[in-house]
Structure 1
Amino acid sequence: MKQIPSACPVRSDRPLSKAADIAYIRLGRENLESASEYYQDFGLDIVEKKEDRILFRGNSSDLPCWSLEKADRDFLIGLGIYLHSSEDFERLKTIPGAEFLQNGRINSIPCVTLFDPSGLPVDVMYVPEEKNKNPIDPTEELWNYPGESRRANLPRPCESRPSKINRLGHAVFLKQEFLKNASWYCDTFGMIPSDIQILPESKEPVIVFLRFDRGEILSDHHSIVIASGITDSLEHCAFELKDLDEVATGREWLLGKGYHSSWGIGRHLLGSQIFDYHRDPAGMLVEHYADGDKFDNSVPTGIHLINRKSLYQWGENMPKDFLDTKLSLQKLLELWKGIISGRRISIPILIELKKVAEISPRTWIKY
């Protein structure tokens, strides 16, 4: 096997900060009303509704985690990140090009806006660890097992309602310059590569799952994922739910409302989440998940080959259109813009990635 290239994202010895969690995603939407209706059915609660912006939250915090903003097109506007160190926050304010907003962006908390190598605005906020956190319901669901009947004489009720979303869990970004962007998040926010996926032939790294470094405190296996792409865009966002029943409840509610499932229910391989994917009215993937892996900072980086099978342990076959491999005119235009602007884009890597993404792991199924 060819040696893995040294140009892989690595944890930084001296990051500029140690961020703690993903805070929010900002999306531009042409039709705010249809988007708002969808995300309420998806399980988010409205915090604030104005003519040009609607803010949503999960149950774990009163702070908004999802911002839909009136725009002339559907696109990603920005990302928000929390950190728990005021010293780190002050340090980030001194970075050349950083923009400080005393009144915050969407939650009235002062923020400093940085720009990742793709130009994406990243709002960073200092929030004390327990500020605005709501207690999570610790109630354990009773399950019957062979030889152990914990749910005796108690039928399990069937509820018809949207999912109860705990919080925004992670976001997956496609980037034309994979290594440059992935390294920026490691160097700027102290993120740790939990797992890296490489192409089977060239052995080039194309996806990295990044977690926040909170020392001995457990962090999600990934909060930000950077993947090689033809465009700089948001691939999907995922929201944490309590358990499998909650994932299934949300799925039934959305299907009953006439929305179509994109892929699920299944269990991922890297991160181990039970997942269910849907598409919002703009066509963007959004995920309900439960039971994801939690790591402290002692777990080393894993290296894995990438293919469709590496995305799940079990579940229905991944639909052909789940991974968007079509070369539209808009994608080719964005690719051309990136090349003429001087970005280091490897066409052979993108071609190999496209080929891998089009091969079904189940050989008896032909796309």
Structure 2
Amino acid sequence: MKQIPSACPVRSERPLSKAADIAYIRLGRKNLESASAYYQDFGLDVMEKKEGRILFRGNSSDLPCWSLEKADRDFLIGLGIYIHSSEDFENLKSIPNAEFKQNGRINSFPCVTLFDPSGLPVDVIYIPEERIRIPKKSREGLWNSPGKSPRANLPRPYDSKPAKIIRLGHAVFLKQEFLKNASWYCETFGMIPSDIQILPESKEPVIVFLRFDRGDILSDHHSIVIASGIADSLEHCAFELEDLDEVARGREWLLGRGHRPGWGIGRHLLGSQIFDYHRDPSGMLVEHYADGDKFDSSVPTGIHLINRKSLYQWGEDMPKDFLDTSLSLRKLSELCKGIRSGKQISVPTLMELKKVAEVSPRTWIKY
């Protein structure tokens, strides 16, 4: 696929800023204690617990990456993004309706809150680059291979406990206005489309994998993913682990604790991550992953057809309910609300996407 469809998000030649990484996700939860217990089993560390809010961090940082906040329903509250340039930060502060907080929202660093086209609050946190810790691999040289045995006379140890989460890696958002939202992240934060997926018949783009533009510094293949959806929502979040062994150990621990699996273990196609999905008590997907692709700014955008097979190279069969294609009353209500409010929503595109998502990539699987 060499020709990029005209209505695709593209990298901006003059973005308002160049952000550096995803910082945190804020979630509203009805049952805060149940959610907290789950995410500790998932591998996050509690760093602050107050009435109405619990903050978690990964192993590589003393900054929060996950905020659970007491609410009357389970929903996405907001997104946080790191920025290292003080000049870019000042530019964002001048955007109409931007909200500046000198002492931050969930950490002590200054932040400015913007609102994406769907109305999602996006906290942009100014933080010096040297303040971000770079995780180091702790099990270097422990894998034997033909002709090379660095683990000689040393059985691999078994240790049953939650996965060791390094960091929040990416978040996937469903948006009623796909192009408008995807373009906003490119134009506001200088994000680069790593790969775009288009529908087989209409050739309409429906998913874009966005990475941060760090120049020659390598960045994750995607830190934010924007996908077409019936309602604006968070589809899943993914957390980076050290290696396949850690992904598998996390799976064993969660299953042993009686938690609901999602899909895995397998390897993605776009981004290449070894993945394992689970569902938290609200039913939301959360992912453990390892060995994801890293790109600098020189890699051009790839264009691919979308189908179930495009989601993975190998792995367990994708459960029928992994991609939520149901048309619930809540979803239809959100769709009607979006249309009435004047949003540019293509119902034929959503219906084609639903059709594609329901076709198994393995012809011998009958859902």
The TM-score range, normalised by the shorter chain, is over 0.9
User: What is the CA–CA distance in structure 2 between the aligned matches of 1:284 and 1:322, rounded to whole Å?
Assistant: 11
User: What is the CA–CA distance in structure 1 between the aligned matches of 2:50 and 2:127, rounded to whole Å?
Assistant: 25
In the alignment, what sits opposite 1:243?
243
Report the CA distance between 1:60 and its aligned residue. 1.1
In the alignment, what sits opposite 1:65?
65
In the alignment, what sits opposite 2:35?
35
Which amino acid is the alignment partner of residue 200 of structure 1? P
In the alignment, what sits opposite 1:225?
225
Cα–Cα, structure 1 residues 156 and 138, in superposed 2: closer, same or farther, change >3 Å? Answer: closer
Instruction: Pick which of 125-134 and 246-255 moved more.
Output: 125-134
In the alignment, what sits opposite 1:90?
90
Q: Within 5 A, what are the aligned runs for 1:76-155? A: 76-133=76-133, 135-155=135-155
Consecutive unaligned residues in structure 2, runs of 5 or more: none
Map Cα deviations across residues 158-182 of structure 1 (whole Å, 9 max, x no partner).
1100000000000000000000000
Report the CA distance between 1:147 and its aligned residue. 2.0
Report the CA distance between 1:299 and its aligned residue. 0.2
Is the contact made by 2:174 and 2:226 (CA closer than 8 Å) also made in structure 1?
Answer: yes
Which amino acid is the alignment partner of residue 8 of structure 1? C
User: What is the CA–CA distance in structure 1 between the aligned matches of 2:59 and 2:110, rounded to whole Å?
Assistant: 23
Q: Within 5 A, what are the aligned runs for 1:1-367? A: 5-133=5-133, 135-367=135-367
Report the CA distance between 1:132 and its aligned residue. 4.8
Which amino acid is the alignment partner of residue 197 of structure 1? Q
Is the contact made by 2:2 and 2:303 (CA closer than 8 Å) also made in structure 1?
Answer: no
Q: Which SS does the other structure have where 2:152 is aligned?
A: coil
Is the contact made by 2:137 and 2:242 (CA closer than 8 Å) also made in structure 1?
Answer: no
For normalisation by structure 1, the TM-score amounts to: 0.98
Report the CA distance between 1:141 and its aligned residue. 4.2
**Where has structure 1 moved over 6 Å in runs of 4 or more?**
none
User: What is the CA–CA distance in structure 2 between the aligned matches of 1:134 and 1:53, rounded to whole Å?
Assistant: 27
User: What is the CA–CA distance in structure 2 between the aligned matches of 1:35 and 1:141, rounded to whole Å?
Assistant: 36
Which amino acid is the alignment partner of residue 283 of structure 1? G
Q: Which SS does the other structure have where 1:310 is aligned?
A: helix
Cα–Cα, structure 1 residues 2 and 287, in superposed 2: closer, same or farther, change >3 Å? Answer: closer
Is the contact made by 1:163 and 1:250 (CA closer than 8 Å) also made in structure 2?
Answer: yes
For normalisation by structure 2, the TM-score amounts to: 0.98
Which amino acid is the alignment partner of residue 264 of structure 1? G
Map Cα deviations across residues 199-241 of structure 1 (whole Å, 9 max, x no partner).
0000000000000000000000000000000000000000000
Is the contact made by 1:41 and 1:254 (CA closer than 8 Å) also made in structure 2?
Answer: yes
Cα–Cα, structure 1 residues 149 and 191, in superposed 2: closer, same or farther, change >3 Å? Answer: same
Is the contact made by 1:62 and 1:134 (CA closer than 8 Å) also made in structure 2?
Answer: no
Percent of pairs with identical residues:
85
Map Cα deviations across residues 308-338 of structure 1 (whole Å, 9 max, x no partner).
0000000011000000000000000000000
User: What is the CA–CA distance in structure 1 between the aligned matches of 2:248 and 2:138, rounded to whole Å?
Assistant: 20
Report the CA distance between 1:138 and its aligned residue. 4.2
Is the contact made by 2:241 and 2:247 (CA closer than 8 Å) also made in structure 1?
Answer: yes
Report the CA distance between 1:137 and its aligned residue. 4.2
User: What is the CA–CA distance in structure 1 between the aligned matches of 2:6 and 2:329, rounded to whole Å?
Assistant: 34
User: What is the CA–CA distance in structure 1 between the aligned matches of 2:365 and 2:340, rounded to whole Å?
Assistant: 40
RMSD: 1.2
Report the CA distance between 1:130 and its aligned residue. 1.8
Is the contact made by 1:64 and 1:106 (CA closer than 8 Å) also made in structure 2?
Answer: yes
User: What is the CA–CA distance in structure 1 between the aligned matches of 2:2 and 2:86, rounded to whole Å?
Assistant: 45
Report the CA distance between 1:133 and its aligned residue. 2.1
Report the CA distance between 1:288 and its aligned residue. 0.1
Map Cα deviations across residues 263-287 of structure 1 (whole Å, 9 max, x no partner).
0000000000000000000000000
Cα–Cα, structure 1 residues 313 and 196, in superposed 2: closer, same or farther, change >3 Å? Answer: same
Which amino acid is the alignment partner of residue 324 of structure 2? D
Map Cα deviations across residues 19-75 of structure 1 (whole Å, 9 max, x no partner).
000000000000000000000000000010011000000011100000000000000
